[in-house]
Amino acid sequence: MSSKMQSSNNIAQARRTVQQLRVEANIERIKVSKASADLMNYCSEHAKYDPLLMGIPASENPFKDRKPCTIL
Amino acid sequence: MCDQTFLAITFGPCDNCSQNKPLMNIYLKNEPINYCSLCVELMACQGLAKGETIHTLKAESETLKGKLEEERAKLHDVELHQVAEKIEALGQFVMKTRRTLKGHGNKVLCMDWCRDKRRIVSSSQDGKVIVWDAYTTNKEHAVTMPCTWVMACAYAPSGCAVACGGLDNKCSVYPLSLDKNENLAAKKKSVAMHTNYLSSCSFTNSDMQILTSSGDGTCALWDVESGQLLQSFHGHSADVLSLNLAPSETGNTFVSGGCDKKANVWDMRSGQNVQSFETHESDINSVKYYPSGDAFATGSDDATCRLYDLRADREVAIYSKESIIFGASSVDFSLSGRLLFAGYNDYTINVWDVLKGTRVAILFGHENRVSTVRVSPDGTAFCSGSWDNTLRIWA
């Protein structure tokens, strides 16, 4: 590539970076306290449906070994 | 404008001036065009506004970066783990290996669960892609790829096909048939074409579209039936190692992480990079959305995992310990998002309390690096794949 091409590529790249940063700087943001509270709420609401968190009885988990049955 | 990742040189008639000259094959708005170097220069100069030079643009980009940091810092009123102090700590976790899937001849690089919660597809360095029944550990299908290092594999939402790829720079879709004797390789469909290795692939909500990420620094959305490129995503300045689609309720976005230490969030329809996060100190190996879609976690070679909140637009938690010095290769959340499972290069899997930032369990068992960790669709178990050639199901 000629050096002129280099500089026009750099300009093109720099313009893209500036445009990208403009987009990113202007987005709507919320406070971390609110975002954290929402994450916590989601966790508590869904905790009871989470088998790895709550643990489910071995008989219901297809991966856990069932207790052997004895035939009387 | 032209993207350097795709720059190549051929000889022929220029699309603009029609003279026979060496051509630059460039992409404008994803359309390939062939201009001679003179026409490309003229085009680039035409785009410059009056008074714009490389210096004014650089200065503006620095001020914008500063402004971005300021805006983000204004909203940083508290840390996540401080807010989480009031909730109960988690009890002791007992998770054991319940199944070991043996059969790969070399390192397991990637795996994915089927939506039926029992089938798993895994791919390996030896070129084999195997579909297992996780309940019985039986192998249901096996395909040999024409390349080694199959770094990506994914199960289709319908359960009727699998996609895989790696050093062949392509993503191929294999329809799975019920007939065990049928040669799967014969029905293979090549969907994606990249200019470097395929690092990750994922079906969107249907069997019809696939999202891929590649060592060429781009991500792309493809139509499976025609193999056509629907959208490409440029913005990473190095290999993209991982991608993850947002959970369906929250819309058409996905997150990607790469060797440029950045995690980018993209709009699938416009191809636009909507948010970017750069706080990791090394390559990001894995990205995964939080179940609500409002945040995502990353695992990196800098031995930390981090949580980024999309609405607060910043990193909100770091999961690290001084004793952990090996990189995290793969992360996944439990169903409620309270637990983060991370596989590390020191052969262990650490389980983190997402809200409090503490480690709740460390799982031993693999005899080499853990390369991939995925929780099953119903959350009853998670599967890990490792360079020790095996996969383990933990519950």
User: What's the mean per-residue pLDDT of chain B?
Assistant: 89
CATH of domain B83-394: 2.130.10.10
> How far is residue B370's CA from residue B170's CA, in Å, rounded to a whole number?
24
| Local structure of B41: helix, strand or coil | helix
Sort out which chain B residues have CB atoms less than 8 A from A63's CB and list them.
98-99, 134-135, 380-381, 393, 395
Any idea what the CATH number is for the domain that residue A10 is in?
Answer: 4.10.260.10
Residue B260: list chain A partners with CB under 8 A: none
Are B339 and A40 a contacting pair at CB < 8 A? no
Instruction: Say which residue, B237 or A57, is predicted with more confidence.
Output: B237
Which chain A positions have a beta carbon within 8 Å of B291's beta carbon? 42, 46
Question: Which two three-digit tokens encode residue B267?
Answer: 């709009």
**What's the pLDDT at B3?**
42
pLDDT at B247 over 80: yes
Per-residue pLDDT at B115 exceeds 90: yes
Residue A57 lies in a domain: no
Count the alpha carbons within 13 Å of B158 in the hemisphere toward its beta carbon.
11
- Across the interface, whether the CB atoms of B309 and A5 are under 8 A apart is answered no
Is B48's pLDDT higher than 60?
no
**B49 pLDDT higher than 80:** no
B53 pLDDT band, cuts 50/70/90, is confident
Q: Say how far apart CA B227 and CA A20 lie, in whole Å.
A: 30
> What number is the average pLDDT over the span B133-142?
93
The two beta strands, B9-13 and B20-28, are antiparallel
User: Tell me, what's the pLDDT at A39?
Assistant: 93
pLDDT, residue B363, reads: 96
Return the residue of B nearest to A52 by Cα: B380
Domain presence at residue A63:
no
CB B10 within 8 A of CB B23: yes
* Whole-number Å distance between alpha carbons of B296 and B333: 9
Delimit the CATH 2.130.10.10 region(s) of chain B.
83-394
| One-letter identity of residue B74 | K
Q: In this predicted structure, what is the pLDDT of residue A66? A: 66
pLDDT digits (tens, 9 = 90+) for B287-326: 999 999 999 999 999 999 999 999 999 999 999 999 999 9
Contact of B76 with chain A, judged by CB distance below 8 Å, is answered with yes
Q: Quick check: helix, strand or coil at residue B341? A: strand
The pLDDT-based confidence of B65 (bands split at 50, 70, 90) is: confident
Which of A7, A31, A64 lies closest to B98 in CB terms? Answer: A64
Of residues B131 and B33, the one with the higher pLDDT is B131
Burial status of residue B140 (CB atoms within 10 A of its CB: 0-12, 13-18, 19 or more): middle
Could you report the per-residue pLDDT of B140-164, keeping only the tens digit for each?
999 999 999 999 999 999 999 999 9
- Region B15-30: what's the mean pLDDT? 76
Locus of tokens 């319908």 = B158
Q: Is residue A55 part of a domain?
A: no
In a domain, A25, yes or no: yes
Question: What token pair was written down for B59?
Answer: 């200065």
For the cut 90, the answer to whether the pLDDT of residue B22 exceeds it is: no
Give the whole-angstrom CA distance, residue B330 versus residue B324: 15
Express each pLDDT in B181-198 by its tens digit. Answer: 667 777 888 998 999 999
Alpha-carbon dihedral of residues B91, A49, B257, B175, nearest 10 degrees? 130
CA B375 to chain centroid, in Å, comes to 16
Q: Binning pLDDT at 50, 70 and 90, where does residue A70 land?
A: low
Cβ pair B118, B134 in contact under 8 A: yes
* Residues 332-351 in B contacting A (C-alpha not used; CB under 8 Å): 334-339
Write the ipTM. Answer: 0.81
Structure confidence at residue B127 (pLDDT): 94
Q: Which two tokens stand for residue B353?
A: 């309390």
Measure the CA–CA gap between B358 and B67, rounded to whole angstroms: 32
For chain B, positions 185-224, list CB contacts with chain A under 8 A: none
Beta-carbon separation of B380 and A36 below 8 A: no
Quote the pLDDT of residue B52. 67
Asked if the Cβ–Cβ distance from B83 to A51 is below 8 Å, we say no
Q: How far apart are CA B203 and CA B152, in angstroms?
A: 12
State the pLDDT at residue B45.
63
Of B37, B48, B135, which has the smallest distance from its Cβ to A5's Cβ? Answer: B37
Q: Which of residues 25-54 of B touch A (CB under 8 A)?
A: 37, 40-41, 44-45, 47-48, 52-54
> Can you tell me the mean pLDDT for B119-144?
94
User: From A51, which residue of chain B is nearest by alpha-carbon distance?
Assistant: B380
Q: What is the mean pLDDT of residues A15-22?
A: 84
- Percent of chain B predicted with pLDDT > 70: 93
SS3 B16: coil
Specify the amino acid at residue B169. N
Segment among B89-98, B263-272, B368-377 with least mean pLDDT: B89-98
**What tens digit of pLDDT does each residue of B224-241 get?**
999 999 999 999 999 999
B355 with A11: Cβ contact below 8 A? no
Tell me whether residue A26 is in a domain.
yes
Task: Check residue B126 and report its DSSP letter.
Answer: T
Q: Taking CB atoms and an 8 Å cutoff, what residues of chain A touch B375?
A: 52
Kindly tell me if the per-residue pLDDT of B5 is higher than 60: no
How much is the pLDDT for B7?
A: 44
Segment B69-93 shows an average pLDDT of: 87
A3: contact with B, CB 8 A cutoff: no
Q: Using CB atoms, which residue from B273, B292, B375 is nearest to A42?
A: B292
What is the predicted pLDDT for the residue at A1? 38
Q: Within a domain: residue A7?
A: yes
Distances (CA, A) of B218 to A22, B30, B73, B241: 22, 12, 30, 10
**Domain membership flag for residue A41:** yes
Say whether B121 sits in a helix, a strand or coil: strand
Contact (CB<8Å) B44/A33: no
Alpha helices in B219-331 (DSSP H): none
Per mean pLDDT, which range of B77-91, B111-125, B157-171 is the poorest? B77-91
Residue type at B88 in one-letter notation: E
Q: Are A21 and B64 in contact (CB under 8 A)?
A: yes
User: How many domains are there within chain A?
Assistant: 1
Query: Quick one: average pLDDT of B11-35?
Result: 77
Range of the domain at A10: 3-49
